[in-house]
Chain A
Amino acid sequence: MDAGAQLGLFLQHLINGVTLGAIYGLIAIGYTMVYGIIRMINFAHGEIYMVGAFVGVTGFSLMALMGITAVPLALLLVLVMAIGFTAAYGWAVERVAYRPLRASGRLAPLISAIGMSIFLQNYVMLTQGARPKPLQPVITGGFTIWEGPNMALSITWIQAFIILLTVALMAGFTLLIAKTPLGRAQRACEQDRTMAALLGINVDRTISLTFVMGASLAAVAGVLVTMYYGVIDFYIGFLAGLKAFTAAVLGGIGSLPGAMLGGLLIGLIEAFFTGYVSGAYKDVAAFSILILVLVLRPTGLLGRPDIEKV
């Protein structure tokens, strides 16, 4: 291969990696926000994303049934539907499995979350069937950015859509946290829940809304993945959740820009490792880099160090 083709291949992996990273980033935000506010790993978050993907598949099938063929309209309706229903799941999970355990240490909520994860997986398998769900491509085509003698660099519309939507959502989300009263309440709860409650912030409601927001973003990620890969099953939540959680820790758990950066890095590592080394070991690469980063910088890339109190 000549240098041009090599560069083209590199850029192609870059585009694939950014797309993947965008999806991981969307899921990772849910982990990082929940961790920031109640210091707990929401182990069931991967399943929430899977729930979102299934609502997406059902939604697209419904759109076809109702004869809504205009892609932008169908897409909008499905996204709204997925966000609404998945947010309800996020809310219910917190209410049922985590709120009663808020005052009881670190491990009890973790076990409860693992139980919730097992429950949701089997619930979806029983109600929707164990077979993978295929989906007709919703957005097809793409455009070629650059064409060489034996190599073409192209970006599909769906990739472009995923990247743009993620950037827009993340920008909106950053604004939400930085500028709105809700975002201020969340940051206050993150710093000191008791003090926030004393100052009249409804802590329970703020925590619930944090779960709802995390679930909404996971729902978007689920719909995007359904469109990107065209097939889902009830088991996708585990690995995606694990990667997204890795991304959140890599970026520094509790930090919003950290989650985005971590997601992007995990996506890129996966794409380049698959492209240049081996697909089978791509997860090993992601975890190894995570361990390496944590050894060198135990609080993640953008995380604030915990102050040790005696």
Chain B
Amino acid sequence: MARTLPDRLKDAALAAFVALLLAVPFIGLTTINTDVGLRVATRWDWVLWAVAIVFAGRILFGFAADAVSTRRRRTEARGPLVSEAAGRTLGKAFAAAAIAFAVTLPFLPFSDRYVLDLGMTVLIYILLATGLNVTVGLAGLLDLGFVAFYAIGAYTFALLAKFFGFGFWIALPMAGLVAALFGVLLSLPILRLRGDYLAIVTLGFGEITRIVILNWQSLTGGPNGVGGIPRPTLFGLSFDRRPQEGQQSFHEVTGIAFSSEHRMMFLYFIVLLLVLVCAWAVWKLRRLPIGRAWEALREDEIACRSLGINPVLVKVSAYATGGLMGGLAGCFFAARQGFVSPESFTFIESAIILAIVVLGGMGSQIGVVVAAAFIVLLPEFAREFADYRMLLFGAAMILVMVWRPGGLISSREPTLTLAGGKQPAESVVRGVGS
């Protein structure tokens, strides 16, 4: 597309005009709160800058886009970055490297409290996204309220500890089971729904959960949350400097000098273990009939039914499995923070978890890991921009989607292929029309 310079200028002028329209009411004009009401302030110089940047940016972008499309035409390659067999080997190598890195991270020289803390956050999101990946990525059931399971898991542990004095290790499976139970409950009314109706109902479920937690003051403490959640112990050994009566502490028994970092490392290994177990479970499940049924349901529900797969069972199990992992993540979150409040479980969390799944390329476990690291670490790197973090985060979400709509690692290939590695038709894999 060789475009003439006047064409480009016209195009850029149009973009600049739109930028002017957008900038005037928000950048050009602002209202300042004063004692006597609002005072209008103006910043016309900023508007000028914004318009100039858009004008120049549009021209540069035009040249860049042309250059890219020319090169693309020359190489004729819009296929996957690497061939499929190579991709599989690469995936295995990457998985091994990632696990090795995750295991050794606490012992690496640059590792400190901050790095471990960040590592735990990434791992929690990987765990959550692994769970949501089962529902959305494998079974193709959209869920915009996944944070509800996270909240239910966290509050299950918090309340069991508060009222019955349960410890982390007993509460962990219970939190998972309670969340899975809620997954079953949620899935029952929405068996008949599909697509966008599913989105709104699950979103509503997430909001209902949060509002109930916020308002059921007598049980959950409302906005004040629940505190004093006990720390996990290693076979009864605590990681405190001075353990409670009747408890032994890790540093006393092992003779290693006390360091508060040990507790962080311990917590880190707990969540790493949870992630590995869940990822392994999903990997195994994908090879069982139920996992195959999830993927079949995603591709075509009607075909599924005519082949005798019971969609009710498939959907319920997908929500339950996803919910279970969300609950485990919530339980760990409560143990790590020692405090839970409804603030941690807003819609934005659901959106971030879903963004990780979609960004990673639905159904891809490695994609989830890469995307979780990207999403959690991006705002950390943008820390110096402080106030602009979320602004950049939103912009990055749009840009990545526009750049790679199929996610970073696009692997919607069915786990099962015909003998000889024959793939289904391209249109089926790409999910055209879905």
User: Which A residues are closer than 8 A to B by beta carbons?
Assistant: 35, 39, 41, 51, 54-55, 57-58, 61-62, 65, 81, 84-85, 88-89, 91-92, 96-97, 100-101, 104-112, 114-124, 126-129, 131, 133-136, 238, 242, 245-246, 249, 253, 280-281, 283-284, 287-288, 290-291, 294-295, 298, 308, 310
A-contact bits for B185-228, CB 8 A (1 contact / 0 none): 00001101101110111011101100110110000000000000
Q: In the complex, are the beta carbons of A54 and B196 less than 8 A apart?
A: no
Report 17 cross-chain contacts, Cβ distance below 8 Å, ordered by A residue.
A61-B38, A84-B21, A101-B405, A112-B398, A115-B395, A115-B396, A116-B398, A119-B394, A129-B30, A129-B32, A246-B200, A249-B197, A249-B200, A284-B208, A287-B208, A294-B193, A295-B189
| Identity of the chain A residue whose Cβ is nearest the Cβ of B432 in the assembled complex | A105
In the complex where A41-B196, A108-B358 touch, is A114 in contact with B351 (Cβ < 8 A)? yes
Q: Which chain A residues border B402 with CB–CB below 8 Å?
A: 97, 100-101, 112
A135 CA to B33 CA in the complex, in Å?
A: 10
Distance in Å from the Cβ of A69 to the closest Cβ of chain B?
15
A85 CA to B19 CA in the complex, in Å?
A: 11
Q: In the complex, are the beta carbons of B31 and A128 less than 8 A apart?
A: yes
Q: In the complex, are the beta carbons of A283 and B431 less than 8 A apart?
A: no
The 6 A-B pairs at the shortest CB distance, nearest first, are namely A115-B397, A119-B394, A118-B394, A104-B405, A287-B204, A108-B405
Q: In the complex, are the beta carbons of A62 and B40 less than 8 A apart?
A: yes
Q: In the complex, are the beta carbons of B391 and A133 less than 8 A apart?
A: no
Of B192, B195, B196, B348, which contacts A295 at CB under 8 A?
A: B192
Q: In the complex, are the beta carbons of B401 and A111 less than 8 A apart?
A: yes
Q: Which chain A residues border B354 with CB–CB below 8 Å?
A: 110-111, 114
| Identity of the chain A residue whose Cβ is nearest the Cβ of B198 in the assembled complex | A294
A105 CA to B214 CA in the complex, in Å?
A: 36
Distance in Å from the Cβ of B97 to the closest Cβ of chain A?
28
In the complex where A88-B22, A122-B390, A127-B26 touch, is A96 in contact with B398 (Cβ < 8 A)? yes
| Identity of the chain B residue whose Cβ is nearest the Cβ of A101 in the assembled complex | B405
Q: In the complex, are the beta carbons of A127 and B397 less than 8 A apart?
A: no
Q: In the complex, are the beta carbons of B40 and A290 less than 8 A apart?
A: no
Q: Which chain A residues border B426 with CB–CB below 8 Å?
A: none
Distance in Å from the Cβ of B433 to the closest Cβ of chain A?
9
A121 CA to B389 CA in the complex, in Å?
A: 12
Q: Which of B25, B197, B201 has the most CB of A within 10 A?
A: B25
| Identity of the chain A residue whose Cβ is nearest the Cβ of B33 in the assembled complex | A131
Of B25, B29, B200, B397, which contacts A114 at CB under 8 A?
A: B397
A249 CA to B212 CA in the complex, in Å?
A: 23
In the complex where A111-B355, A111-B359, A119-B398 touch, is A133 in contact with B38 (Cβ < 8 A)? yes
Q: Which chain A residues border B339 with CB–CB below 8 Å?
A: none
A283 CA to B208 CA in the complex, in Å?
A: 8
B48: Cβ under 8 A from any A Cβ:
no
| Identity of the chain B residue whose Cβ is nearest the Cβ of A280 in the assembled complex | B215
Q: In the complex, are the beta carbons of B207 and A287 less than 8 A apart?
A: yes
Distance in Å from the Cβ of B434 to the closest Cβ of chain A?
6
- Interface positions, chain B 30-57, Cβ under 8 Å from A, are 30-33, 37-40
A-contact bits for B401-434, CB 8 A (1 contact / 0 none): 1100110000000000000000000000001001
A89 CA to B19 CA in the complex, in Å?
A: 10
Q: Which chain A residues border B212 with CB–CB below 8 Å?
A: 281, 284
Of A54, A101, A122, A284, which contacts B401 at CB under 8 A?
A: A101
Contact residues of B: prevailing secondary structure: helix
A85 CA to B396 CA in the complex, in Å?
A: 25
Q: Which chain B residues border A109 with CB–CB below 8 Å?
A: 401
Q: In the complex, are the beta carbons of A118 and B31 less than 8 A apart?
A: no
In the complex where A85-B21, A283-B207 touch, is A54 in contact with B26 (Cβ < 8 A)? yes
Q: In the complex, are the beta carbons of B38 and A105 less than 8 A apart?
A: no
A-contact bits for B210-254, CB 8 A (1 contact / 0 none): 011011000000000000000000000000000000000000000
Distance in Å from the Cβ of B71 to the closest Cβ of chain A?
19
Q: In the complex, are the beta carbons of B40 and A58 less than 8 A apart?
A: yes
Distance in Å from the Cβ of A114 to the closest Cβ of chain B?
5
Q: In the complex, are the beta carbons of B394 and A122 less than 8 A apart?
A: yes
Distance in Å from the Cβ of A196 to the closest Cβ of chain B?
17
Q: In the complex, are the beta carbons of B38 and A127 less than 8 A apart?
A: no
B283: Cβ under 8 A from any A Cβ:
no
Q: Which chain B residues border A39 with CB–CB below 8 Å?
A: 196
Q: In the complex, are the beta carbons of A85 and B25 less than 8 A apart?
A: yes
Q: Which chain B residues border A115 with CB–CB below 8 Å?
A: 355, 393-398, 401
Q: Which of A65, A124, A294 has the most CB of B within 10 A?
A: A294
| Identity of the chain A residue whose Cβ is nearest the Cβ of B191 in the assembled complex | A295
Q: Which chain B residues border A62 with CB–CB below 8 Å?
A: 29, 40
Q: Which chain B residues border A129 with CB–CB below 8 Å?
A: 30-33
Distance in Å from the Cβ of B26 to the closest Cβ of chain A?
5
Q: In the complex, are the beta carbons of A118 and B397 less than 8 A apart?
A: yes
Q: In the complex, are the beta carbons of A298 and B197 less than 8 A apart?
A: yes
Other than the given A107-B136, A107-B358, A118-B397, 17 more pairs (CB < 8 A) read A61-B39, A84-B21, A88-B22, A91-B18, A106-B196, A106-B434, A108-B405, A111-B355, A112-B397, A112-B401, A115-B355, A118-B393, A128-B31, A283-B211, A291-B204, A295-B190, A298-B192
Q: Which chain A residues border B207 with CB–CB below 8 Å?
A: 242, 283, 287
In the complex where A96-B398, A284-B208, A291-B189 touch, is A108 in contact with B406 (Cβ < 8 A)? yes
Q: In the complex, are the beta carbons of A294 and B208 less than 8 A apart?
A: no
Q: Which chain B residues border A106 with CB–CB below 8 Å?
A: 142, 195-196, 434
Q: Which chain B residues border A108 with CB–CB below 8 Å?
A: 358, 401, 405-406
B378: Cβ under 8 A from any A Cβ:
no
A120 CA to B395 CA in the complex, in Å?
A: 9
Q: Which chain B residues border A294 with CB–CB below 8 Å?
A: 189-190, 193, 197, 201
Q: In the complex, are the beta carbons of B30 and A85 less than 8 A apart?
A: no
Q: In the complex, are the beta carbons of B406 and A133 less than 8 A apart?
A: no
Q: Which chain A residues border B22 with CB–CB below 8 Å?
A: 85, 88-89, 92
Q: In the complex, are the beta carbons of A298 and B394 less than 8 A apart?
A: no
Q: In the complex, are the beta carbons of B387 and A126 less than 8 A apart?
A: yes
Distance in Å from the Cβ of A277 to the closest Cβ of chain B?
12
B347: Cβ under 8 A from any A Cβ:
yes
Q: Which chain A residues border B309 with CB–CB below 8 Å?
A: none
Q: Which chain A residues border B314 with CB–CB below 8 Å?
A: none
Q: Which chain B residues border A242 with CB–CB below 8 Å?
A: 203, 207, 347
Q: Which chain A residues border B394 with CB–CB below 8 Å?
A: 115-122
In the complex where A110-B199, A127-B26, A308-B302 touch, is A58 in contact with B31 (Cβ < 8 A)? yes
Q: In the complex, are the beta carbons of B391 and A290 less than 8 A apart?
A: no
